Amino acid sequence: MGAGATPAFARGVGDLEMTVEVAARGDTGAGERRNRGAGEATAAPREPALREDAASQAALDALLCELLPHQGDWSDEGYLWLTDHGNRRVEFTDGRIEELPMPTDAHQSVLLFLHALFRAGLRSCGGVVMVSGMRMRVREGKFREPDILLLRDRSDPRRQNRYRQGADLVVEIVGPDDPDRDLVEKRADYAEAGIAEYWIADPRDETLTVLVLRGEAYVEHGRYGRGETAASVRLEGLAAEVSAVFDAPETGA
């Protein structure tokens, strides 16, 4: 299937959406006719209508379950179609989709602080920094959405409009729901993608860890706490004061 092609199940969902829309318009007209016939003095009982709505929703849910791929059967284009048409944070690995938790205030404050810092640091060399929501292809069958992904050259061919084909540096902010996702799983994924540098911001102990790719795996260049400065190995001049990073939720910096 070519880039941007619509998966077969998506075409079926589109047809279903049109059918539901037409049916809804018809139901609205019928409701208006019933109301005119009943007169303003007497309101129709709500219970039968609620039961009809519940039955209709159950039938719609069942139909969607038939149309959409089962967990384990999703394709790259199916995942891309899903995330093109929704506003949820979703990642994809070997046929399985995973919805990520919504970010907290503290998470977003740290993310935006680092984004502004990196953006300023790359301005002189023409680099580009994006935040979560931009998909990145690790390989065929695997997509991630790093909290921050950075390319030092905005003309880099890996910079695609629909998703990134890689990055020079990525950052993840450890979430409380599943720390191993960022500390273990994504460490392996980003090494597999050949990303030269991976930073992990961990609000639990307020540390920044800088990992550098050596061969096919990351080695820890440094783990920095309050009062220290984390610096990039591959990108000269790119550094972050740890205290300022984790004070961002309170200072609004």
Tens-place pLDDT, residues 183-232:
999 999 999 999 999 999 999 999 999 999 999 999 999 999 999 999 99
DSSP state of 168: S
Q: Which long-range contacts (CB under 8 A, 24 or more apart) does 10-18 make?
A: 10/78, 10/81, 12/67, 13/64, 13/67, 13/68, 16/60, 16/63, 16/64, 16/67
Classify 101-251 by CATH class.
alpha beta
- CATH 3.90.1570.10-classified regions of the chain: 101-251
In angstroms, what CA-CA distances link 33 with 26, 45, 60?
11, 15, 25
In angstroms, what CA-CA distances link 69 with 33, 94, 96, 233, 247?
40, 13, 10, 42, 43
pLDDT at 110 over 50: yes
The whole-number pLDDT of residue 53 equals: 78
Q: Which two tokens stand for residue 101?
A: 């938790």
Cα–chain center distance at 150: 16
Cα–chain center distance at 244: 26
pTM higher than the cut 0.75: yes
Q: Which two tokens stand for residue 81?
A: 């179609």
Handedness of CA 240, 243, 248, 252 (dihedral sign): negative
The whole-number pLDDT of residue 251 equals: 86
pLDDT at 34 over 70: no
More confident residue, 14 or 193: 193
Grade residue 116 by pLDDT with cuts at 50, 70 and 90: very high
Which helix (H) or strand (E) segment is 80 a member of?
helix 76-84
Q: Which two tokens stand for residue 111?
A: 């993310």
DSSP state of 103: P
If one counts every other C-beta atom within 10 angstroms of the C-beta of residue 45, the result is 8
Backbone angles phi, psi at 81, to 5 degrees: -60, -45
CB 199 within 8 Å of CB 190: no
Half-sphere exposure (Cβ direction) of 108: Cα atoms closer than 13 Å? 7
- Measured in Å, how far apart are the chain's first and last C-alpha atoms? 45
Grade residue 51 by pLDDT with cuts at 50, 70 and 90: confident
Grade residue 23 by pLDDT with cuts at 50, 70 and 90: very low
